[in-house]
Structure 1
């Protein structure tokens, strides 16, 4: 009676098709499982899970092949009898669209794969340990999972379970127990108190410890961070300083030498202030030593006193009646004159205290249109051009010479690339905002004042104070002449034609004597001027 039919007890996706003809079985499966093939399939591996949509993943059922694999009735009468009482689930045969299915399996592999995550340890805002548990990772065998999905996606209640290989984290939650006992607990056991001056004290409280103490992977030398197998404490002295600075800042005083202000021709003295500064390196030491010391929680702040080197009394005795050095240059153009006059106005009445260094760029700050400067001539790449603020190299040369004859120490000056006839050879300077500066230092124990002004087409700078020395300039001859080259420049590129001039090397010797005529120093400076190119504009 059962000859030529599907074996008794056979089920596909829970649908019984035993004893049916192949046509009947296929029809039954299509009717009963038609909606099932559109249900999402859950794919599990290890302790991770993901889903796929069969229709979007290129999965369909090959109904005929599925029924065919169920086979025929067994000839063995015993097997036939057993089939009256037992069921046999038969997997489906899938029809697969390779492109969508491969993409779906790639996503499944990513979803079901995870790198292990090490345990982490921190100190929370209450000063208590905050542990992040480790998390094992896992990998899957992609080909094995693929086969399971193909055969089981419809026949196991829409759930496919694959195998996963678990990878344990290198740093586990248990590894943090020792650090909590030996580091966090003593560090946050009680406030660490620092006693400063004026009965002011600062405290690092347990609630501050999270800013100071962190835990990082203990990476072996020349190894990657992910290979670390333990944590180690990391102490932040800067964070400890910030915590205490908020409380101890009032015990410090900013160092300030006496200075001057001038208003309406009246000179006023700005009093000095002796400085007091906390020596943080000595106060904190290695903060871990103090944090882990449960026997001693009180410490003294270490200070450094910095007395003013130029006091209010010194300033009140200062005099600016004598000209220590002065210089005048002239013959500048209209736009250059605007910039030179603006610079002279800014620098006029500047003071340079004993031991201090004056910077022209630093004192004037930006020199743009917002500050009243205009476009004028400059020298760039060995030829004339234009830029906002151009022309103030003439002021720089004038200031350099005034400081030269006042006996100031030359800190930084840069000659022009080629010689300009209105300046003394070997004794001139150029400046360029942000790149080339003019700086000199006051070596004397008296302050000096810079007086600068423009009259007609000339600019004068005077260094005033109490005269200390006499200065003589001994110019050298011009040697090693070099001939100019010819250049052709686009006439739209701020071109200025030039007939050129030879370059040469020269020296200048400055002799400084005291007011009794005794020579104190003699220094020779060598300047090499490039030849001024012959420029043709086209």
Structure 2
């Protein structure tokens, strides 16, 4: 039987926290308040260790987790309470030594978010059930089990391994979608096939319209939530696009107030007008139950008055009265060229955008995805260091154009990335590429006035102008000489549809200074620096067949 002498017991248990108790090597013996103060002081001295990134392994992948991003911390009060609880257990105190494990806090949901990219790469993803359409023919997407993060297990592993293990391994668990193959087959039989079996008549006060089976297939979305539960809905935006020519017969488009003509100094405001549009959001909701019916199908639609997004009065209130910048870049091939079509498409989408004081404009946020469904075409893009065909090629030229317009308008640069290679059609350093959704162009309007973005194009150029009220007399660029110049090397690629020959270009580093002048003097300058790689000279050559030895 364990016996503890009175002298020892008084020595060990007389205080709230026994002498010799330590947390991460920090002595915390004494009263509860003294222990709390000692632990806080000791943890403050370990701030660098406590804030250091934590390496977490998920299957074959690792992730670097910032403690502050996931709420990873030590709860001082609960840790001291745990030490006091140990003090009331003689056996734990005598045989457990003086080390007290810290009570660690962690936000499980934020940890899962932080680990999501690694989980996506490491885990075999579930195939969620759904239905797609090949023309008007429904095609099943049957579910398959996959793996997912064990959220509770991951949180427990990180709490236990933090400050102890150099790499913390967190578990994955098998996960099967809630929806089954039978659910998919039932959705096809009860919804998808009837939906595209015949057109639907839409009645409006201005005449009847037709939703063709093709338009139904283009707008009917049959998909799953994150757990794999199937549902069907009609996407209002896709419905509007699919019914474009039909809707035009009964609609009048609103027209935003904008800038027209002008001599570059005074804005000529084109007045706004209201419009009347079919309420496609309501139509989409009302259409879904009708699609399940057989035989002739009819659904009523509402035509509503729509105000322009920007009115004439708003332009005046925002101080939009003069052109503050304009920038033009040039392209070849005319407007029938796929690359030119992409440039024109993105220019149309941005035309008329308003950036209010304090707002940040995001090009990706404004246009959304730039794929085939959005009207973009295949054209050369840079991928893995060489030009290949890709949807949306040419968007970077517009990105450079609007970046320079914002640059010379004095907008604050938030995000942009120049090309990896230098292209002579763009100004060095002050140019930008884009890739949805990973690379964006963002700038903030730090002036007290609104900014209207006006775009225009010809068969060989695209122009972005910005209208507002001038804050600066002028904004100019001063270049430092190029340095660290590297000549291009020659690389031979196999000839084929994905091989695009190039002449190559030098690699170099250069600085560009944006200089602001007001009241006749320079008031500030900003430095932009970029390093261009040497673009190889890519040559497309037919593959040489292997030689066969003669007998």
How high is the TM-score relative to the length of structure 1?
A: 0.42
Q: Which has the larger radius of gyration?
A: 1
How high is the TM-score relative to the length of structure 2?
A: 0.41
